[in-house]
Structure 1
Amino acid sequence: MKIVKNISKSVWILSLVSLFTDAASEMLYPIMPIYLKTIGFSIVLIGVLEGFAEALAGLSKGYFGKLSDRSGKRVPFVQVGYALSAISKPMMAVFVFPLWIFFARSIDRFGKGIRTGARDAILSEEATPETKGKVFGFHRAMDTFGAVLGPLIALTYLYYYPQQYQTLFYFAFLPGVIAVLVSLLLKDKSKNLPTEKKGFSFFSFLSYWHSSPREYRKVVVGLLAFAVFNSSDIFLLLKAKQAGLNDSYVIGIYIFYNLVYATVALPIGILADKIGLKKMFIVGLSLFAIVYFGMAFSANIYLIALFFFLYGIYAAATEGISKAWISTICDTKDTATAIGTYSGFQSIGALIASSLAGLIWYRFGAQATFLTTGIATVLVVIYFSFFLKDKIIKNEKI
């Protein structure tokens, strides 16, 4: 098809790997808050768990991103990262002790941290400056179709076996294994990458901040300001549950969100290449603010469905676009480091955001949580719109 023209074999393989991995992860994600509450987790502890898990993923993205750049290798990081995520799934069902749940969830996110910088560097290397949005959008589309398949499997299973959550963690192992097997088809193109053997500490990737281009720092400051208030999607699902949706409908609305995301990710990526990555990102943030203000004031199930529709468009307009944006600013040899460093700082924001959201919800209620996030997002939109000027970088208007 014309729309997927110029999508290379490596991008296809990575996209299929992400599809199967997300099918495994998202089979569990919509039922995760429900499952955690059934085994005794409070809303605050759920927030801390998600924040800690994402913090670990982000910090390890920085280290392993730099390690990938320094070693001249990409594929081993991708393969090991996906393998760890696969084996973490059944671990969640073996024991229900909080410490063990933290450990198993951390293994999953650690795997994500190992693979993300190297994977995104491969995607960047397989794109031209004119097709960054398209390539990252295609990958996000495939990844998110997995996020549609996973919850569909969970929904079907729970229809016949209500509240039998633990078995799903074992089922999720199968697509994870398929993802690892598909990743074996990848081959490194290390001839274009520098090889450096000198060691460095786990946090040494943070030094990239000082040597990075000025434009990189300006963009990342805005992205991180948003990250500090962008809590886990689990809180949106809890809001839907609070509005009266049963388990099946909560999973169903999450499938709907991912279907919207997967459907529009590639067209939005192509459009972003035409109008500019910055403009598309601002559109996405604006939709995010609308969703959070709407969720703060409405418990109507039809409006909640509309907000999840808009949330799918927001995700497509920001997640892949932000990485494509960063990859246009940094030097090619530092792509994994640049994305990993951003993710490292973002992890701190993720820890703060999810923990803060849980505490605000517990102390002041759901409305205060969503209003706080909505207001903060508006301020970030203002920053990107008025304090970050458009600039031509590597022949692409951002």
Structure 2
Amino acid sequence: MDVSSEIIHSLLPMFMFASLGASATTIGFIEGIAEATAPVVKVFSGALSDYLRNRKWLAVAGYALGALSKPLFAMAPTIGVVVTARVIDRIGKGIRGAPRDALVADVTPPHLRGAAYGLRQSLDTVGAFLGPLLAVGIMLAGSDNYRLAFWIAVLPGLLAVALLAIGIEEPNHAHDTEGTKRANPIRWRGLIELGSGYWWIVAIGAVFSLARFSEAFLVLRAMQSGVPTALVPLVMVAMNVVYALCAYPFGKLADRVSHTRLLIGGLAVLIAADLALAHGTHWGLVVVGVALWGMHMGMTQGLLATMVAQAAPADARGTAFGFFNLFSGGVTLLSSILAGAIWDRVNPAATFYVGAGFCVATILLLASVRQRSHTQP
């Protein structure tokens, strides 16, 4: 599915900008809306997976919806159709995301969860760099034909749905509590029972999301640095190769070191990425910034999932992942809109400077939490 999605996502900002005449503000708004849609849906799909005590078929439904959205990109005559396709695709991601993440925790021993989420992120990212590589090949062979690339992206999406439906079985111990009374997970008491440690992680993730606007702006930065159009998707390839190589080692490291210190390290790397991209008028510096961006992703994304899984009760993990993604995604919407507005009204460099400023704010929050309780990982 990542091969399918990343063929489209690596080309979509250029398609909207060059073919449909969208501004950076419009692209930021579309990306923000799309990325905020999935977390809203994750709340309900995660809670539903807790209530039904079944993860697989919700995931299958989500992957199927994502696959069925792909032809709309190929046929889109206007920005409105692109928005519709992006929202449908992100609804599918929302349906599958929390049940899948909870399923990882269900099948993994607690002392190996950092490694498990790191491995999942790493393998997930393999598709994320194969997709842009295919996009480059299609664009070179097809004389910059965006719509041809979008049509080709339909096939791997359908294959992913078939593989999940046929090849994955729900673990038996996901039904261990079948004899207990089922309750609605989205209720005030249930949210309180998630615990203060969990809600601190949600707050940290939300502030962190202010610093992590849409990666569409990395693509736009590469376009401005003089990279030929057909080669711009290689920017996402570079980011995802680094991401894939870093995610598992740092996931294993998260099982042995302070989560707070590792997260602060990831934020420091993101600051370095923002500074490189702010000065990235040459393609070489853009590549450095993009690689650092991928490194910070490898250091932090599996780590945040591990922190949520460790803090949440076992029978409410779906709900916990859903609300974590809801708050983070809502803030991502605001950060992407803000990034696009700064890009258009000030300059591209200012967008990345502001991102670095939000990183500093997150580090200060983490330092204050650490001072309040030295017992938290």
Instruction: Please state which band the TM-score falls in when normalised by the shorter chain.
Output: over 0.9
User: 1: CA distance between counterparts of 2:149 and 2:325?
Assistant: 30
User: 2: CA distance between counterparts of 1:237 and 1:375?
Assistant: 21
Partner of 1:29: 9
User: 2: CA distance between counterparts of 1:294 and 1:95?
Assistant: 35
Instruction: Give how far 1:385 is off.
Output: 2.8
Equivalent residues of 2:266, 2:300 under 8 A apart: yes
Instruction: Give how far 1:207 is off.
Output: 7.1
Partner of 1:353: 335
Q: C-alpha deviations, 1:93-137, integer Å up to 9, x for none?
A: 123222221111111000000011100011011212211111011
% identical aligned pairs: 29
Equivalent residues of 1:50, 1:351 under 8 A apart: yes
Q: 1:356 to 1:196 in 2, by over 3 A?
A: farther
Instruction: Determine which of 97, 101, 104 is the counterpart of 1:116.
Output: 97
- Say whether residues 1:372 and 2:354 are aligned partners: yes
Instruction: Give how far 1:24 is off.
Output: 0.6
Q: What amino acid is aligned across from residue 75 of structure 1 in structure 2?
A: K
Instruction: Determine which of 92, 108, 126 is the counterpart of 2:73.
Output: 92
Q: 1:78 to 1:193 in 2, by over 3 A?
A: farther
- Say whether residues 1:191 and 2:175 are aligned partners: yes
Q: What amino acid is aligned across from residue 376 of structure 1 in structure 2?
A: F
Equivalent residues of 2:210, 2:355 under 8 A apart: no
Instruction: Give how far 1:199 is off.
Output: 6.6
Q: What amino acid is aligned across from residue 92 of structure 2 in structure 1?
A: G
TM-score (norm 1): 0.89
Q: What amino acid is aligned across from residue 269 of structure 1 in structure 2?
A: G
Instruction: Give how far 1:299 is off.
Output: 1.7
| Alignment root-mean-square deviation, CA | 1.9
What does 1:1-398 align with in structure 2 at a 5 Å threshold? 21-37=1-17, 38-184=19-165, 185-189=167-171, 190-194=174-178, 204=186, 209-388=191-370, 398=377
Instruction: Give how far 1:198 is off.
Output: 6.3
| Aligned-partner SS, 2:255 | helix
TM-score (norm 2): 0.93
Q: What amino acid is aligned across from residue 33 of structure 1 in structure 2?
A: P
Equivalent residues of 1:208, 1:337 under 8 A apart: no
Instruction: Give how far 1:206 is off.
Output: 7.9
Instruction: Give how far 1:392 is off.
Output: 5.4
User: 1: CA distance between counterparts of 2:126 and 2:188?
Assistant: 33
Q: 1:359 to 1:207 in 2, by over 3 A?
A: farther
Partner of 1:17: none
User: 1: CA distance between counterparts of 2:291 and 2:150?
Assistant: 27
Instruction: Give how far 1:149 is off.
Output: 1.0
Equivalent residues of 2:56, 2:99 under 8 A apart: yes
| Aligned-partner SS, 1:28 | helix
User: 2: CA distance between counterparts of 1:347 and 1:193?
Assistant: 31
User: 1: CA distance between counterparts of 2:280 and 2:74?
Assistant: 35
Equivalent residues of 2:210, 2:358 under 8 A apart: no
| Aligned-partner SS, 1:40 | coil
Q: What amino acid is aligned across from residue 356 of structure 1 in structure 2?
A: L
User: 1: CA distance between counterparts of 2:93 and 2:260?
Assistant: 26
For structure 1, list consecutive stretches of 5 or more residues without a partner in the other structure: 1-20
Q: C-alpha deviations, 1:358-380, integer Å up to 9, x for none?
A: 11111111111111110111110
Instruction: Give how far 1:146 is off.
Output: 0.4
- The number of residues matched between the two structures is 371
User: 2: CA distance between counterparts of 1:97 and 1:256?
Assistant: 30
User: 2: CA distance between counterparts of 1:298 and 1:172?
Assistant: 30
Equivalent residues of 1:208, 1:341 under 8 A apart: no
Q: What amino acid is aligned across from residue 326 of structure 1 in structure 2?
A: V
User: 2: CA distance between counterparts of 1:240 and 1:205?
Assistant: 45
